[in-house]
Amino acid sequence: MTKLKLKLKKENPALIKKGNEVIGKIPVEVENIRPDLIKNMSFSELKQLEIRAGKVIYQLQDFFEIKGEPAEEIKIAGNLSNFKYLGAGMNSGTIRVKGDVGMHLGSEMSGGQIEVEGNAGDWLGAEMTGGIITVSGDAGNYIGAAFRGDKLGMNRGFIHIGGNAGNFVANKMRRGEIVINGNCGDLLGAQMIAGSVYVFGKCGKRVGAGMKRGTIVLFNELELLPTFSYNISYFPNFLNIAFRHLKNDYGIKIPDQALNSEYKRYTGDNTELGKGEILIWKKD
């Protein structure tokens, strides 16, 4: 398979220097770096692909060493923590990043796959409608969420965060799955409409605030809002099926204690429809 390889240059227009010391970085918008957009370009067109840094429009070759040909798979190496909108809106192909990535990774994507060997910023997968995003490290706030003022967040697709996540994960989520191996901040699943979220670490305050439907599965005790009602402690077989799906389809490592275990079930938020559920693993 033909692959396109991009390596971030040590000297690029986004670096703010004082003498030989880098004292800052200009935000760089790279929504044009998408396999579905570049796969049919010529190499000359690819080198001249537009990238905006601040108020200035640059070309791809100003930031990256380019090897290979335009292809369905793009491999990128370097610290892209100030690069925004990578893979935003993509509908096919694969992006693999070795290094950190900035805000809006894969936002509004409808298909394809993004893999990050590093950390990611805020708004990862915001309002995505399909595709797969995996991050080996930590990610920021508003994962799979709705943009401010919009009614729907993530609406299909899959997100896996290997480390910790910030606040407002799955805000207004409509469909899809989010798995977080580490800890999560406040307001997980706030105003959630449907979908499934799994958090294997600890969570912050106000989980599920305003949620209408959907399922949140937690593996550490926490104090829920008083607008959630305790129902029952039971052994949900559907979770074993869901865990097998996560393991077989996405390679997620499921803790042994999660399988065939007892969970406490709460429903809410009773200020809304009250049809959401929060399952909390019950320790022996």
Q: What is the pLDDT of residues 34-43, one digit of tens each?
A: 999 999 999 9
Mean pLDDT score, 179-189: 98
pLDDT value at 193 more than 70: yes
Instruction: Name the residue ranges covered by the structural domains of the chain.
Output: 1-71, 85-281
Task: Give strand pairing partners of 223.
Answer: none
Sequence-separated (6 or more) residues with CB below 8 Å from residue 254: 243, 246, 247
pTM: 0.95
**In the prediction, which pLDDT does 109 show?**
98
Q: What is the pLDDT of residues 266-275, one digit of tens each?
A: 999 999 999 9
220 pLDDT band (50/70/90 cuts)? very high
**In the prediction, which pLDDT does 15 show?**
86
pLDDT value at 105 more than 90: yes
37: part of which helix (H) or strand (E)? helix 35-38
Sequence-separated (6 or more) residues with CB below 8 Å from residue 213: 192, 193, 194, 273, 275, 276
pLDDT value at 180 more than 90: yes
Least confident of 19-28, 32-41, 59-68, 163-172: 19-28
218 pLDDT band (50/70/90 cuts)? very high
CA dist., res. 119 & res. 150, Å (int)? 26
284 pLDDT band (50/70/90 cuts)? low
110 pLDDT band (50/70/90 cuts)? very high
17 pLDDT band (50/70/90 cuts)? confident
Mean pLDDT score, 223-240: 96
192 pLDDT band (50/70/90 cuts)? very high
Mean pLDDT score, 182-210: 98
Distances, alpha carbon 34 to alpha carbons 24, 161, 162, in Å: 26, 21, 24
**In the prediction, which pLDDT does 1 show?**
55
Query: Kind of pairing, strands 15-18 and 21-25?
Result: antiparallel
User: Dihedral of the CA atoms 229, 264, 203, 240 (nearest 10)?
Assistant: -130
Q: Which CATH number among 2.60.120.10, 2.160.20.60, 3.90.950.10, 3.30.360.10 corresponds to the domain 85-281?
A: 2.160.20.60
